[in-house]
Structure 1
Amino acid sequence: MPAWTPFPHTASYPFDAATVAAQWNRLHAGNREPLPEDPRVLAAWVLFHRGEFEAAAEAGEQLGPEGLTVANKARLIHADYLEPREKVRQELFWDIAQRTAAHAAAQPQHANAHYLHGYALGRYTQGVSVAKALAQGLGGKVKASLEAAIALQPAHADACIALGTFHAEVIDKVGPLIGSMTYGAKKDTSLALFAQGLERLPHSAIALTEYAKALVMLEGDAKQAEAHRLYEKAAAIAPLDAMGHLGVELVKAELTA
């Protein structure tokens, strides 16, 4: 695999096991991952929240099934926010989709295994074009994985946001009629999923940005002003950890583009 691009602000997030454990519910409000009982798994999450993503992935992978969530999420955040080469990003998303599919098969009751599979495959489909991915049957797999995560953990805000995005992108690419008849994608469902997710994550730059993009896909130019307001709100959020930092920096870059 290609070399990892380091997160340059690890000093801004000097977490240790005690601080991660104390802030666990805030840090994991989106994915509802249980606080690890194994201190080695917690140590891998410390690396993740600091932004030491390569080290977090390596540490998690050495711990067997209990470490796979942090390992796969570290890989996914690196690919999504730090890898600058589009071809490499696509290769990484596909690799992560295979890893998370294997994890979900091994631990079918683990909500985050399904969520990370749906997220990784969803990012991959965006790179190959949503329309092409739908034709290949990948869209159905994204939808099924995210729905499985929500069925296992109804309070999984991250999965609600990701599934809301899926519905919006399908409608944007193939239209509401074909989207509904062929893929079960509906505008009302998308908006309801975003409402559920944002109720639990009102201060997530990533969630607000995804919602802004979905509004424009679903409503067009009529929602441009509201989308811009959401972008500004996201850009003003104080991030909790390295992942949040990356989400805020991305929306700031898009505002100034």
Structure 2
Amino acid sequence: MHLNLSFDLSAAVRRVRRPASVADASAIGAKVWKSFPYGNRLYRYDGAALQANWARLHRGDREPFPSATRIERLVRHNPALAEHVRDPARTAACLEQAWRAYHAGDFAEAVHFAQDAGVAGTMVAVRAAAVYAAHVEDQDDRRLKILREATEAAEELVQVAPVWANAWYAFGLAVGRYSQNLSVMKALTLGFGGKVRDSFLRALALEPDHADAHLALGVYHAEVVDKVGSVVGALSHHARRDAVEHHFELARRLTPDSPIVLAEYAKARMLAFGAAQFGRAYGLFQEAAACRPVDALERLDVELAKRELI
């Protein structure tokens, strides 16, 4: 099944007086996004099942379930959001649908529902875009465009909601994925590395047990060390080999048996420490491949790990 998608997230953020609807989202620059490659019914959390499984699904990012009370609290902590959230209950309902689609692997649909939530939905939309671009989209130009627009939207979001750990995490994730597709060296030259690192540090300052931010920082340190070496990495980009282990071990403690953490840790060890770590990396891929995924993203990482073992 192919979905037409407008992914003009920056425009969605700017349309703050009137939240974007699904029809609006489909009308501008429609794109065809590919379907989740492992079926569309495996990871559906319909009805009350989403809230019942929320703690497990969100142990990595610590995002609360999207209730009206949660939205009201988010607005209190981020007063600039107030003019963009007219109906907390409706916003929460749209976000619940967006997360349900995200976990099922319906990434285009997740963006639609998230845009329908207005500015408060930008975080979910950016997350869906980043996962889709990294794992599913096979056209380089489309991938880069999606990630560029996601980065722009997330940067606008953190200006409106600076006291939201997952807004900063989404920004760092989008910039990081965009940087990977530009090449890490070009991204460092453009100063994106600092934005990636600082975004995840901001997320951790607001939520110290944010395992996904620890994972992402581990990836950042590994990629910089791989590209510029340990000396230049430390002096110019605050990237160190020992930080790779530090952040990934924290992520493992916070999210035991996470295929995402295990697969990313395996790749990061190879980048930061070289071929000498092949045995350790192989073992981590084996652990990841043996995990039982609970949503689409975990399934994508389990399949990635299996491919590495062939």
The TM-score, its normalising length taken from structure 2, stands at 0.79
TM-superposition CA deviations, 1:42-89 (whole Å, max 9, x none): 122112112221111101111123322222211221111110112321
Q: SS in structure 1 opposite 2:256?
A: coil
CA distance in 1, matches of 2:272, 2:97: 41
Runs of at least 5 residues in structure 2 that lack an aligned partner in the other structure: 1-28, 68-91
Report how far residue 28 of structure 1 moved: 0.3
Letter in 1 for 2:66: P
Q: Which moved more, 1:244-253 or 1:106-115?
A: 244-253
CA distance in 1, matches of 2:307, 2:34: 18
Work out whether residues 163 and 193 of structure 1, in 8 Å CA contact, stay in contact via their aligned partners in 2. Answer: yes
Work out whether residues 10 and 242 of structure 1, in 8 Å CA contact, stay in contact via their aligned partners in 2. Answer: no
Report how far residue 116 of structure 1 moved: 1.1
Work out whether residues 167 and 185 of structure 1, in 8 Å CA contact, stay in contact via their aligned partners in 2. Answer: yes
Identity across matched positions, percent: 39
Letter in 1 for 2:32: A
Question: Are 2:147 and 1:93 equivalent residues in the alignment?
Answer: yes
CA distance in 2, matches of 1:63, 1:126: 29
Which residue of the other structure, out of 55, 71, 82, is the alignment partner of 1:25? Answer: 55
Which residue of the other structure, out of 143, 163, 168, is the alignment partner of 2:217? Answer: 163
Q: Give the aligned partner of residue 297 of structure 2.
A: 243
Structure with a larger share of its residues in helix: 1
Structure 1 segment 174-185 matched on structure 2, within 5 A = 174-185=228-239
Work out whether residues 94 and 116 of structure 2, in 8 Å CA contact, stay in contact via their aligned partners in 1. Answer: no
Report how far residue 249 of structure 1 moved: 1.6
Q: SS in structure 2 opposite 1:3?
A: strand
Question: Are 2:97 and 1:43 equivalent residues in the alignment?
Answer: yes
Report how far residue 237 of structure 1 moved: 0.9
Work out whether residues 244 and 269 of structure 2, in 8 Å CA contact, stay in contact via their aligned partners in 1. Answer: no
Work out whether residues 218 and 248 of structure 2, in 8 Å CA contact, stay in contact via their aligned partners in 1. Answer: yes
CA distance in 1, matches of 2:47, 2:193: 38
Q: Give the aligned partner of residue 36 of structure 2.
A: 7
Q: Which moved more, 1:208-217 or 1:247-256?
A: 247-256
Q: SS in structure 2 opposite 1:202?
A: coil
Q: SS in structure 1 opposite 2:33?
A: coil
Structure 1 segment 104-253 matched on structure 2, within 5 A = 104-253=158-307
Q: Which moved more, 1:25-34 or 1:241-250?
A: 241-250
Report how far residue 241 of structure 1 moved: 1.0
Q: SS in structure 1 opposite 2:63?
A: coil
CA distance in 1, matches of 2:138, 2:307: 14
Q: Which moved more, 1:95-104 or 1:2-11?
A: 2-11
Work out whether residues 216 and 223 of structure 1, in 8 Å CA contact, stay in contact via their aligned partners in 2. Answer: yes
The TM-score, its normalising length taken from structure 1, stands at 0.95
Structure with greater Cα Rg: 2
Q: Give the aligned partner of residue 71 of structure 1.
A: 125
Q: SS in structure 2 opposite 1:16?
A: coil
CA distance in 1, matches of 2:187, 2:121: 30
Work out whether residues 160 and 197 of structure 1, in 8 Å CA contact, stay in contact via their aligned partners in 2. Answer: yes
Q: Which moved more, 1:220-229 or 1:64-73?
A: 64-73
Work out whether residues 17 and 42 of structure 1, in 8 Å CA contact, stay in contact via their aligned partners in 2. Answer: no
CA distance in 2, matches of 1:87, 1:250: 22
